[in-house]
Amino acid sequence: MTEKPQAPAMRVPLLDLKPQYEAIAPRVRAVIDAVCASQQFILGPEVRTLEARLAAYSQSRFGIGVSSGTDALLLALMGLDIGPGDAVITTPYTFFATAGTIARTGARPLFCDIEPETFNISAAAVRTFIEQECERRDGALVHRASGTRVKALMPVHLYGQLCPMEPLLALARESGLRVIEDAAQAIGARDAGARPAGSFGDVGCFSFFPTKNLGAFGDAGLCVTADEALAEHLQVLRVHGGKPKYHHAFIGGNFRIDELQAAVLNVKLDYLDEWSQRRAENARVYDVAFARAGLEAQVVPPPALPGFHHIYNQYVIRARERDALREHLAAAGVGTEIYYPIPLHLQKCFAYLGYRSGDFPQSERAARETLALPIFPELSVEQLNYVVECIGAFYSAGARAARA
Ligand SMILES: *Cc1c(COP(=O)(O)O)cnc(C)c1O
């Protein structure tokens, strides 16, 4: 007879948005009511306010609110005139939209491997790729194997920590590439020089998917840019490319952000730094608990780069026996997630790109070893310590022997 499984001592969900909502509900409901009363749902004052505030927040000049983080990336690519015959260098270890949007324009995603510590694209790998697999032809950078023109670089600030941008920007300058930052997970993250996400590239793209640090009540996103002409072009492409209305020099789309979402985001933006600060404090609790637990051989906590301001959209460890650990944690009432189990170069829809297993060993290893732990702002110290205790119990000698 097997023993009846005991109820977990504590529940620690991966994410629970309810306490955050409860704390700000009266303000949120008031702005929703105001939009309802105005019946102005499309590109109204809340959108303009949000655009201006987030442009300033990310030390950029112009904000263009859009329908999602995915559409922010797509709009940025379209705005830089990237399409069939072109290629964009990016990382295979990211959310699907990064490469999905490149492919949707008709351009080719070209992958370069990541740094094992930060999981962000490796500037050294990009340099090697450009030197060994690309060549200059008539002033353009051409990817030899596919014959595509490499037009842009799309780094992703994964989990809320910036890619060190200097080496990537230097490469982009040398090779004449545009830079689109996928800052979907990194709003408010800064480097050691206090430069914020979105301020480095030609365009910075944010997502307000509810799980992001600044989450809408549904889908929303935003592009930022310092380039006035580009900002204007993005605004036109956001409304089907019509300017003046019903006159289309370009084919755009409906990429608009809703006024209701902008209103909610304008309230939540007041709290963003405080929430991100609490995430960072939670990360410190984990770091200390892991150091005390003596799990160095089993668990690698995520390092923050010196001087960088990490906003911890996710707290992602590397773990031995990751999948068994995940099951153990689920049974103990702890929610976790795997970001991302299959690197993009191995996705079926990208088989036409011709990549093979083994092409990007660091990305493939990360996909096998990483596990995201609960990190949202409202977690208690007890909950955080409980997560580490559960991980310690999983690796304890007795538990290991029982699994062997
Ligand atoms: C969330 C995310 C996106 C897409 O944003 P949506 O708002 O969900 O469309 C793109 N890239 C990365 C890295 C993301 O995490």
Mean pLDDT for back-to-back runs of 10 residues, the chain (404 residues):
72 98 98 98 98 98 98 98 98 98 98 98 98 96 98 98 98 98 98 98 98 98 98 98 94 98 98 98 98 95 96 98 98 98 98 98 98 98 98 89 80
**Rounded distance, CA 398 to CA 248, Å?**
69
- Could you tell me which residues are beta bridge partners of residue 65? 222
Distance 1 CA to ligand 1 centre (A): 47
Query: Which pLDDT score, from 0 to 100, does residue 2 have?
Result: 53
Query: With contact defined as beta carbons under 8 Å apart, do 141 and 149 qualify?
Result: yes
**Rounded distance, CA 233 to CA 248, Å?**
12
Contacts of residue 134, Cβ cutoff 8 Å, sequence gap at least 6: 141, 142, 143, 144, 150, 175
Query: With contact defined as beta carbons under 8 Å apart, do 53 and 189 qualify?
Result: no
> In this structure, what token pair is assigned to residue 281?
């404090």
As a whole number of Å, the CA-based R_g of the chain is 22
- Could you tell me which residues are beta bridge partners of residue 256? 66
299-300, strands of its sheet edge to edge: 299-300, 315-319, 370-373
Dihedral-angle region of residue 267 (phi above 0 means left; psi in -120 to 50 means alpha; beta otherwise): alpha
Query: With contact defined as beta carbons under 8 Å apart, do 391 and 329 qualify?
Result: yes
Q: Which residue has the tokens 């990064």?
A: 98
**Rounded distance, CA 214 to CA 202, Å?**
22
**Measured from the CB, is residue 314 less than 6 Å from ligand 1?**
no
Q: Which atom of ligand 1 is nearest to the CA of 219?
A: 7
Distance 314 CA to ligand 1 centre (A): 13
- Angle, vertex CA 106, rays to CA 91 and CA 86, nearest 5: 70
> In this structure, what token pair is assigned to residue 397?
């000698």
**Measured from the CB, is residue 160 less than 6 Å from ligand 1?**
no
Q: Is 282 exposed, middle or buried (0-12, 13-18, 19+ CB in 10 A)?
A: buried
**Measured from the CB, is residue 70 less than 6 Å from ligand 1?**
yes
Instruction: Record the pTM.
Output: 0.97
Question: Among 75, 93, 207, which is best to mutate for testing ligand 1, by the most ligand atoms less than 8 A from CB?
Answer: 207
Read off the DSSP letter of residue 181: E
Q: How do beta strands 62-66 and 140-143 pair?
A: unpaired
Distance 359 CA to ligand 1 centre (A): 24
Q: Where are the domains of the chain?
A: 20-269, 272-403
Same fold, 20-269 and 272-403: no
Sign of CA dihedral 340, 346, 351, 355: positive
Q: Which residue has the tokens 């707290």?
A: 315
**Rounded distance, CA 316 to CA 336, Å?**
10
**Measured from the CB, is residue 118 less than 6 Å from ligand 1?**
no
- Could you tell me which residues are beta bridge partners of residue 207? 221
Q: Which atom of ligand 1 is nearest to the CA of 212?
A: 1
Query: With contact defined as beta carbons under 8 Å apart, do 64 and 134 qualify?
Result: no
**What's the CATH number for 20-269?**
3.40.640.10
- Could you tell me which residues are beta bridge partners of residue 297? none
Distance 95 CA to ligand 1 centre (A): 6
Q: Which residue has the tokens 């939540």?
A: 268
Domain at 272-403: CATH architecture: Alpha-Beta Complex (3.90)
Distance 97 CA to ligand 1 centre (A): 6
